[in-house]
Amino acid sequence: MIRSSLMICCTVLSLHTASDILRAEPPARKTRTENIIFVMLDGCRWQEVFTGADPELLDKERGGIENVEETKKLYWRETPEQRREVLFPFLWSVIAKEGQIYGNGPKSSVARVTNLLNFSYPGYSEVLCGFPDMAVNSNDKIYNRNVTFLEWLHQKSEFKGKIAAFTSWDVFPYIINAPRSGILVNSGFSKEGAPEGKTNTAALNGLLSSTPLAGNLTRFDSLTYQAGLDYFKEKKPRVLYLSFDETDAQGHAGHYDRVLNSARKEDGFIRELWETAQSMPEYRGKTTLVITTDHGRGNAPVEWKSHAANILPSQYIWCAFMGPDTPPLGERQKVEMIGQNQIAATVVALLGYDYNAAQPKAGKPIIDVLPVK
């Protein structure tokens, strides 16, 4: 396991106002990436990504598995490589060959949050803004005072009205600050932003607002995905942001079999979305796919259900990149530690802009993900 001594303290610099950030206009540089598909899997552990089903949790008592025999049949294989490939077939059959994957700590590829809190709102804000904010310290529905890279891009004429977010968790309108940013955020049990006019879409719009889960603030990921996919095909945004929640919700509920099922399902969503993009001239050869998570979780067999500041393993995350500008280096090993705060600047750099010139406290881009000069 990764030693907790890797943990480093972040220095939070003084905040700029939203207007300061939006006024900054850094120079553009040439890249082949014109569009971004950005997907997040809430609370999806790096352990499952890199080693597949955890043997310590494949039982009824520790993993809360309803049918152990069936779960093992689906996900247990003799080697970690085989297990991860059966759990995340697209990630390991395509992205591992054509892109880059970070976060396998035992192979000296550490990725971690820098906000020190290890839960959702701080994690999403750090990913999307490029820096931690000590004032972002709860999951409460408070509008984010910080500007996300989505909002920063949205102020540019070439991205205005061409950025959309589809998320299962209903706090995202606050994280992205939808009223201020003007970005379309379809979230929770709202049907706002879903395309209209088609028979199947009309039925989907009804489902978005009529199928809340009792006692739960998140909708089914399949509804989030279908709404996002319909919008993608009809409206053709330049940046599509999707955030799924079931890997986190089922982890908290202690159902490890459902965590695995959700992870494999979401891998399938990502495959279909990518293949859809490659079938469209607006996206083929011009689009970069980014995948990551907002936080990790505790280690098996005791703390895997939870994540928090005092559960140190939950600081460790993973991320993946694939697109026309990213060298196909596969699973990264023996590389410098990367921070969650670097993802925003990396995405913006892939689009040809310098995010750090506008937001100097954001983490620097991950150089290896960018095209070789």
Decide which of 119 and 213 is more confident.
119
Tally: H helices and E strands in the chain: 17, 10
pLDDT at 307 exceeding the cut of 50? yes
Give me the pLDDT at residue 15, please.
Answer: 38
Say if 321 falls within a structural domain.
yes
Each residue's pLDDT tens digit, 230-249:
999 999 999 999 999 999 99
Please list the helix, strand and coil fractions of the chain in percent, rounded to the nearest 5, in that order: 40, 10, 45
| Structure confidence at residue 210 (pLDDT) | 62
pTM above 0.85, yes or no: yes
Q: Indicate which CATH number applies to the domain containing 99.
A: 3.40.720.10
Compare 69 and 195 and report the one with higher pLDDT. Answer: 69
Mean pLDDT along residues 255-260 = 97
Task: Judge contact between 219 and 213, C-beta under 8 A.
Answer: yes
Give 245: exposed, middle or buried? Use CB within 10 Å, 0-12, 13-18, 19+. Answer: buried
pLDDT of residue 203: 62
Of the candidates 68, 164, 51, the one whose C-alpha atom is nearest the C-alpha of residue 104 is 51
In DSSP terms, 36 is beta-bridged to 239, 288
User: How far is 125 from 355, CA to CA, in rounded Å?
Assistant: 16
Confirm whether 20 is domain-assigned. no
Residue 188 and residue 217 in contact, taking contact as beta carbons nearer than 8 Å: yes
> Residue 21: its pLDDT value, please?
46
Residues of the domain holding 64:
36-369
The verdict on residue 72 lying in a domain is yes
What is the rounded (10 degree) CA torsion for 288, 292, 294, 300? Answer: 180
Give dist(CA 325, CA 373) in Å, integer: 11
Determine the pLDDT at residue 80.
98
Question: Distance of CA 110 to CAs 224, 292, 365, Å?
Answer: 30, 13, 16
Residue 133 lies in a domain: yes
* Residue-wise pLDDT tens digits, 9-61: 333 333 344 444 444 444 456 899 999 999 999 999 999 999 999 999 999 99
pLDDT at 188: 81
Strands 35-41 and 239-244: parallel
Per residue in 167-225, pLDDT (tens digit) is: 999 999 999 999 999 999 998 877 666 666 564 665 666 666 666 555 556 888 998 99
Mean pLDDT of the chain: 90
Q: What is the predicted pLDDT for the residue at 250?
A: 95
17 domain-assigned: no
Q: Phi, psi (5° rounding) for residue 331?
A: -70, 120
Among the residue ranges 2-11, 158-167, 257-266, 271-280, the one predicted with the least confidence is 2-11
5 pLDDT more than 50:
no
Mean pLDDT of 88-92: 98
Length reported for the chain: 373
Total count of domains within the chain: 1
pLDDT surpassing 90 at residue 359:
yes
Provide CB contacts within 8 A for 60, sequence distance 6+.
Answer: 66, 68
Residue 54 placed within a domain: yes
- Residue 360: asked if its preceding bond is cis (omega within 30°), the reply is no
Residue with tokens 């990149």: 321
Structure tokens belonging to residue 304:
């895997």
Give me the torsion for CA of 128, 132, 136, 140, rounded to 10°: 40
Cα separation, 261 vs 242, in Å, equals 18
Is residue 344 in some structural domain? yes
DSSP 24-63: --PPP---S--EEEEEEETT--HHHHHH-S-GGG-SHHHH
Domain-embedded: residue 180: yes
CA distances from 369 to 241, 290, 338 (A): 19, 11, 12
Helix boundaries (H) for 198-255: 199-210, 221-235, 246-253
Q: Measure the CA–CA gap between 51 and 80, rounded to whole angstroms.
A: 4
For residue 7, name the pLDDT band (cuts at 50, 70, 90).
very low
pLDDT tens per residue across span 131-173: 999 999 999 999 999 999 999 999 999 999 999 999 999 999 9
Query: Could you give the CA distance from residue 18 to residue 360 in angstroms, rounded to a whole number?
Result: 14
Phi-psi category of residue 187: left, alpha or beta, with phi > 0 → left and psi -120 to 50 → alpha: beta
